[in-house]
Amino acid sequence: MKSLTPLLASLLVTSATAFRPIQPFTGHLERGLEHHLSGRRQETGKKGLIRVPLEVYSRNNGKTELQWLATITVGTPPQTFKVVLDTGSTALILPRGNCTDCGKHTLFDPSKSTSFSPQPGLFQPIEYGTGADTIPLNQTGRAECEVVTDTVSIQDRAVSKQEFMLCDSYGEALSSQLADGILGIGFNDISAWDENGNFTYLPFLPNLISDGQLPNRIVGLALGSGGKKHQQRGPEASIGGTDCARYRGRIKNVNVDETLTTLSGTFIVDVQAAYIGSRDSKQVWRNSTNDNKSLTPGAALVDSGTAYMLAPDRQTAEDLYSDISRDIVPLDDRGSWGASCATLDKMATDITFTIGTETGGEVVEVTMPKSAFNLGEYPGKKGVCQAAFSHSNPPFYEPVEGRPAWVFGSPLIKAYYTVWNAKGGALGWAQKA
């Protein structure tokens, strides 16, 4: 599920100029230090990183993986919720006990919590750009929420007065998702703002850090099954540092696009090119040697809460698929593409992106493996399977320079051990252990 913080929503729908981040971008110098610290503090137990097992929600007998959920508790005595670890947002969002369109979720009942406070009580509509499923939304979703306060815990770490969004209306996309709520673990140390556009509340992870309960803002995500060594080990997040046991080799760090990332509060990287297949094998974008064409450089929101890949516009998706097979066609008017399941499996291919910029950080090639190309049967269309890339409708261009903007969701993210370093302004990619 990709939720948009109000900030990101406004980035998409209007202009971003009204918003000022309170947390200055801290640059890259701290990164090495933080890795070092996280390694050291792991041994001291309590204040080190925590390893959070994630539950994967899927359909099509596990073929279509949709959401990775962590368990948190809220209130006194604790009420338990399953929340999406969402790098595409920064707030904690939960459904309120009186919600009538929140689906079958566990609802938070404030009257049963002695530590609950309805303050600050600020009304906060939340807009989101994609739902829990692989099919794009036909319109921006909207939940109606209020900012309230209570104790929030994950494993043995607790924030006693955590502000979060309690929603009495979820809207279709949130109510149909499998998770009860969303735990935004995005970039900014902010999760909401008031009517004047002033940022206010510290999200859960920054609060844990300022309280000395976590060493840093690094989250490592092992969403996919492990490599040979760790096939038995399920998906897992390490919060407060990287987990050396889950990756091998070096973590390649891509600096986030500073402007877009600070504005949106989510991890946005520059995209230089896309290739069908891998770049090493020279199967470049247009595979004929005289006509190799790379996609327009752009930006990509890298979002653990989206279960598919989203191309900036229809033309881009058309270009991509026309180089793979003419049999891959639009499936609906929302931007989904696909073909008959047997055909799609045969034409499945790796897709490689070059991300990052030379001016700081690394330029890295990341590959969505062909095993992630077929998202499984399209709901309601027997024998028709959805391909990993959909297109944005309307087109999605970032608001600062108007570059085409992608969303890289879990089909790419789960192929790697990813390291989300908010303080260092970097997104790391490593081979799974």
Residues that bind ligand NAG (CB under 6 A): 96, 98, 100, 138-139, 168, 196, 198, 283, 287, 289-290, 292
Peptide bond into 394 cis (omega under 30): yes
**Has 303 been annotated as catalytic?**
yes
Burial profile 243-269: b = 16 or more Cβ within 10 angstroms, e = fewer: bebbbeeebbbbbbbebbbbbbbbbbb
* CA gap 102, 181 in Å, rounded: 10
Shortest reach from residue 12's CB to ligand NAG, in Å: 16
Q: Which residue matches tokens 């979720």?
A: 105
Shortest reach from residue 396's CB to ligand NAG, in Å: 17
Q: Which residue matches tokens 């897709």?
A: 351
- CB closer to ligand NAG, 6 vs 220: 6
Q: Of residues 133, 303, 313, 350, which has the active-site annotation?
A: 303
Cβ neighbour number for residue 357 with a 10 Å cutoff: 15
Contacts of 410 (CB under 8 A, 6+ apart): 65, 68, 223, 304, 306, 307, 308
Shortest reach from residue 139's CB to ligand NAG, in Å: 5
- CB closer to ligand NAG, 71 vs 138: 138
Shortest reach from residue 17's CB to ligand NAG, in Å: 12
Q: Which residue matches tokens 């399920």?
A: 234
CA angle 400, 253, 88 (to 5 degrees): 50
Q: Which residue matches tokens 């000395």?
A: 212
- CB closer to ligand NAG, 95 vs 399: 95
How far does Cα 323 stand from its chain's mean position? 28
Shortest reach from residue 56's CB to ligand NAG, in Å: 25
Position 113: which residue type? S
- CB closer to ligand NAG, 225 vs 349: 349
DSSP-assigned letters across all residues of 205-242:
HHHHHHTTSSS-SEEEEE-S---STTTTS--EEEETB-
The helix (H) or strand (E) run that includes residue 55 is strand 55-59
Shortest reach from residue 95's CB to ligand NAG, in Å: 11
CB 187 within 8 Å of CB 91: no
- CB closer to ligand NAG, 74 vs 209: 74
- CB closer to ligand NAG, 16 vs 268: 16
How far does Cα 324 stand from its chain's mean position? 27
Shortest reach from residue 249's CB to ligand NAG, in Å: 28
CB 410 within 8 Å of CB 203: no
- CB closer to ligand NAG, 58 vs 200: 200
Q: Which residue matches tokens 């995005």?
A: 186
Give the pair of three-digit tokens for residue 135.
């099919």
Active site residues: 86, 303
